[in-house]
Amino acid sequence: MQPICLQLYTLRDAMSADWKATLKRVADIGYAGVEIVYSHDVSIAALRSELQANGLRVSGAHVGVDFLRQNIDAVINDIKTLGGSYVVCPWIAPSDRGDAANWRAFMHEFETYGEHCKAAGIQFLYHHHDFELAPLGDTNALTILLDESKTGTINAELDVYWIAYAGMDPVALINKYAQRVPCVHLKDMQANTRAFAEVGHGTLDIAGILKAADAAGARWLIVEQDVCQRDPFESVAMSYAWLKTHGRC
């Protein structure tokens, strides 16, 4: 059974205020690990020490394009120092997205990062939102990145909320990319507003999603809630409690 991880972007304000206390609270809730947001705000050595002190593993890191372009090998070394296995590109700025040709240029760039990761024994993943699922002629950005890239260079961190928000079926997309989805982002959706909800407290078929993630060979289930309607610590505790109640932790 996959360990349950928390994407620390959910607790970004708390991390900025007191990152050590935040990590302790995450561990106290019961999370087995975290997915970090890569930056130079805290030294890798200090972060590693604090994670170990709290018994938290690292799945990988969300790494902005600027960091990837500056020094992909330094990024890889930092993630491996933390014990992580995945370098994840989480976002492309609106001004850079463009048409299918722009995304094919990103695909070739990401293939290079993927080759560096593969040589180091880890994986390069792309985390999408809804815009990568919007039509670009007869394709879309995520299809370009995953289906047109060299085998093994770019894999997926599928986000079930954004798949549903784009009007697609999370289970079907997880099934489509079986064995290429080592990390699945779990979050839920409120019924009327389509706002973010705690895992198990919205309209998504979380049980079906978990079953599909199991069959697809996912290695990590990663709770993330981009915006919380209550205290973020309460939200991440609710998501963890639902998963624990349903036998996932």
**What pLDDT was estimated at residue 176?**
98
- The pTM (predicted TM-score) of the whole model is 0.97
Check which CATH number belongs to the domain holding 210 and give it.
3.20.20.150
**Tens digit of each residue's pLDDT (9 = 90 or more) over 76-101:** 999 999 999 999 999 999 999 999 99
pLDDT of residue 230: 98
Overall domain count for the chain: 1
Q: Which residues of the chain have pLDDT under 70?
A: none
Can you give the pLDDT at residue 215?
98
Using DSSP bridges, classify how beta strands 196-197 and 188-189 pair: parallel, antiparallel or unpaired: antiparallel
Contact assessment for residue 87 and residue 60, using Cβ atoms and an 8 Å cutoff: yes
pLDDT (0 to 100) of residue 40: 95
- Domain of 43? 4-245
Report the pLDDT value the prediction gives residue 1, as an integer from 0 to 100: 84
